[in-house]
Amino acid sequence: MKTIKNVAFLLVMLISAKLSAQTFTVTLDWTKKANPMNNSINSVGFRADGQKVLSGTNCHPASIRMFDVTTSDLLWDYNVGTHYMCIMGVTFSANANYIAAIEEFGNIFLFDNTGTTPVIIDTINTATSYAFCTAISPLNDKVAAGCSGGRLKIYNISGGTLSNNILAHSGWVTAVAYSPNGNKIVTGGSDDKVKIWTKTGTLLFTCSGHTGDITSVKVTPDSNYVISASQDKTIKIWDINTGTLIRTITGHTRSVNGIDISPDGTKIVSASSDSSCKIWNFATGDLITTFGIRDSGSVNSVAWSSDGSRIVTGNQKSDISIWRVNTSSSIQDAFYTISLNLFPNPAQDNFTIEIPVSASNGQLKLYDCLGRVLKTYSNLSQPFITIPTTDFDDGMYFVVLQAENTRAISKLIIKK
């Protein structure tokens, strides 16, 4: 609910004529090396509480390291040895009990992370020539790996047994992510396609539009949208429930290698081979700010902490960097935190909105999730307004009340 309110809050700010500007800055907290030979970082990730961060690097030797976010202390340094190649992806499970790392030649390393130091508990061989990405399910019971031969392989964490073996793409599977609600899996491939699957591996949608390898996919916190990054220098937003392209974001001059979404769902952060990271407005695709380390080479991976206060990046020169995110707003923006009372919600045939006395001379507007005005109501003299759903499709909407001293918003779900 908090995520939806924040997305709605951003939409209202975009359409309000009386909007006051928000200040947004990103500053560097610290930078450390992720590899003793300064090998390139391929993947970074936060623990769910935002207090620890992982990195995985190229070889030889390939390193998996864990750092304390606040102090920058190196807490764990795991060398995979000469029998294995580069670490292509690292991730914590949602409950932080497990760490998964994917090795270039198709091996998944699983670690128990419940003790003081992670302990390896399994090495799963995917029986593929190469592997590129990994993700742990929100229920912390399965680990997915994107591999060569177009294969998406999903294993049970308990016992390491194969759960699903899916021919997902005509090329390599280069990106994978679970939706936060656990109902869907999203993949990206070297065939330039993004695909949306059920959690058991049934294909729902193929999303075409990129013209280069997919490098990263993420699902928004509300599980409604997919964000994809590509070597074609673009970021795309897709509707996870229809596979429809919502928006294409441009601005990087080279490959976009990594993306993540702010925990409130209002911003996208991207990392690129052009040595920069950028933050974008999710609702409009507008650039908010650019940050990075001068002459850092390619920035290969990026992640946003769960509390929204930190971003971690990993680059070609083995720099793992923690960035502090700072935002400030004027008091006027606080008017938008008021919620409207509307019922029933979800609505089937109609819904009723309670109108505050102070808003009798205001306007009521109904927006879709892309910020488009669908209906406007100006006669607010009655304490309640009942609106039929005849003209609306099933989906998510935002009801916005604007008056001289009142600005309120609520999310509405219509399910006929």
Dump pLDDT digits (tens) for 177-221: 999 999 999 999 999 999 999 999 999 999 999 999 999 999 999
Q: Which two tokens stand for residue 31?
A: 């930078």
In this structure, the answer to whether residues 299 and 250 fall within a common structural domain is yes
Per-residue pLDDT band for 4 (boundaries 50, 70, 90) equals: very low
Residue 17 lies in a domain: no
For position 338, what pLDDT does the model report?
55
* Inter-residue contact 338 to 59 (CB < 8 Å): no
Percent of the chain, pLDDT > 70? 90
Per-residue pLDDT band for 299 (boundaries 50, 70, 90) equals: very high
Q: What is the pTM of this model?
A: 0.76
Question: Which of the pair, 401 or 16, is modelled with greater confidence?
Answer: 401
We report the CATH number of the domain holding residue 363 as 2.60.40.10
CA-based torsion, 184, 185, 189, 191: positive or negative: negative
In this structure, the answer to whether residues 295 and 308 fall within a common structural domain is yes
For position 171, what pLDDT does the model report?
93
For the chain, what is the HEC assignment? CHHHHHHHHHHHHHHCCCCCCCEEEEEEEEEEECCCCCCCEEEEEECCCCCEEEEEECCCCCEEEEEECCCCCEEEEEECCCCCCCEEEEEECCCCCEEEEEECCCEEEEEECCCCCCEEEEEEECCCCCEEEEEECCCCCEEEEEEHHHEEEEEECCCCCEEEEEECCCCCEEEEEECCCCCEEEEEECCCCEEEEECCCCEEEEECCCCCCEEEEEECCCCCEEEEEECCCCEEEEECCCCCEEEEECCCCCCEEEEEECCCCCEEEEEECCCCEEEEECCCCCEEEEECCCCCCCEEEEEECCCCCEEEEEECCCEEEEEEEEEECCHHHHHHHEECCEECCCECCEEEEECCHHHCCCEEEEEECCCCEEEEECCCCCCEEEEECCCCCCEEEEEEEECCCCEEEEEEEECC
The number of distinct structural domains making up the chain is: 2
Single out the residue in 284, 302, 328 at which a domain terminates.
328
In this structure, the answer to whether residues 239 and 340 fall within a common structural domain is no
In this structure, the answer to whether residues 177 and 257 fall within a common structural domain is yes
For position 336, what pLDDT does the model report?
42
Range with lowest mean pLDDT among 45-59, 121-135, 400-414: 400-414
* Inter-residue contact 338 to 406 (CB < 8 Å): yes
- Residue 279 predicted with pLDDT over 90: yes
Residue 2 lies in a domain: no
- The 10 Å CB-count burial string (b at 16+, else e) for 204-238 is ebebeebeebbbbbbbbbbbbbbbbbbbbbbbbbb
In this structure, the answer to whether residues 138 and 32 fall within a common structural domain is yes
Q: Which residues pair with 400 in a beta bridge?
A: 365, 409
List pLDDT tens digits, range 125-149: 999 999 999 999 999 999 999 999 9
Residue 41 lies in a domain: yes
For position 363, what pLDDT does the model report?
86
For position 186, what pLDDT does the model report?
98
Mean pLDDT of 363-391: 84
User: Up-side HSE of residue 360: CA atoms within 13 Å toward CB?
Assistant: 5
Residue 72 lies in a domain: yes
In this structure, the answer to whether residues 94 and 241 fall within a common structural domain is yes
Residue 8 lies in a domain: no
- Residue 366 predicted with pLDDT over 90: no
Single out the residue in 284, 312, 328 at which a domain terminates.
328
In one-letter notation, the amino acid at residue 110 is L
In this structure, the answer to whether residues 276 and 390 fall within a common structural domain is no
- Domain extent, residue 63, equals 24-328
- Residue 351 predicted with pLDDT over 60: yes
Per-residue pLDDT band for 373 (boundaries 50, 70, 90) equals: confident
In this structure, the answer to whether residues 221 and 364 fall within a common structural domain is no
User: Up-side HSE of residue 335: CA atoms within 13 Å toward CB?
Assistant: 18
In this structure, the answer to whether residues 169 and 272 fall within a common structural domain is yes
Residue 68 lies in a domain: yes
For position 8, what pLDDT does the model report?
45
For position 9, what pLDDT does the model report?
42
- Residue 404 predicted with pLDDT over 80: no
Residue 11 lies in a domain: no
Other Cβ atoms closer than 10 A to 144: 27
Radius of gyration over alpha carbons of the chain, in Å? 23
Mean pLDDT of 16-31: 66
Mean pLDDT of 150-161: 97
Residue 1 lies in a domain: no
Per-residue pLDDT band for 412 (boundaries 50, 70, 90) equals: confident
Report d(CA 161, CA 372) in Å as an integer.
Answer: 47
Residue with the two structure tokens 């499709």: 393
List pLDDT tens digits, range 310-337: 999 999 999 999 999 986 543 333 334 4
User: What mean pLDDT is reported for the chain?
Assistant: 89
- Residue 261 predicted with pLDDT over 60: yes
In this structure, the answer to whether residues 147 and 111 fall within a common structural domain is yes
Single out the residue in 288, 311, 328 at which a domain terminates.
328
In this structure, the answer to whether residues 105 and 35 fall within a common structural domain is yes
Report d(CA 41, CA 46) in Å as an integer.
Answer: 15
We report the CATH number of the domain holding residue 245 as 2.130.10.10
For position 370, what pLDDT does the model report?
63
- Residue 20 predicted with pLDDT over 80: no
Range with lowest mean pLDDT among 36-45, 158-167, 316-325, 331-340: 331-340
In this structure, the answer to whether residues 79 and 134 fall within a common structural domain is yes
User: Up-side HSE of residue 391: CA atoms within 13 Å toward CB?
Assistant: 7
List pLDDT tens digits, range 217-226: 999 999 999 9
For position 371, what pLDDT does the model report?
66
Q: Which residues pair with 120 in a beta bridge?
A: 111
For position 92, what pLDDT does the model report?
97
Pick the closest to residue 380 from 396, 397, 404 (CA basis): 404
> What is the total residue count of the chain?
416
Q: Is 83 exposed, middle or buried (0-12, 13-18, 19+ CB in 10 A)?
A: exposed
For position 2, what pLDDT does the model report?
42
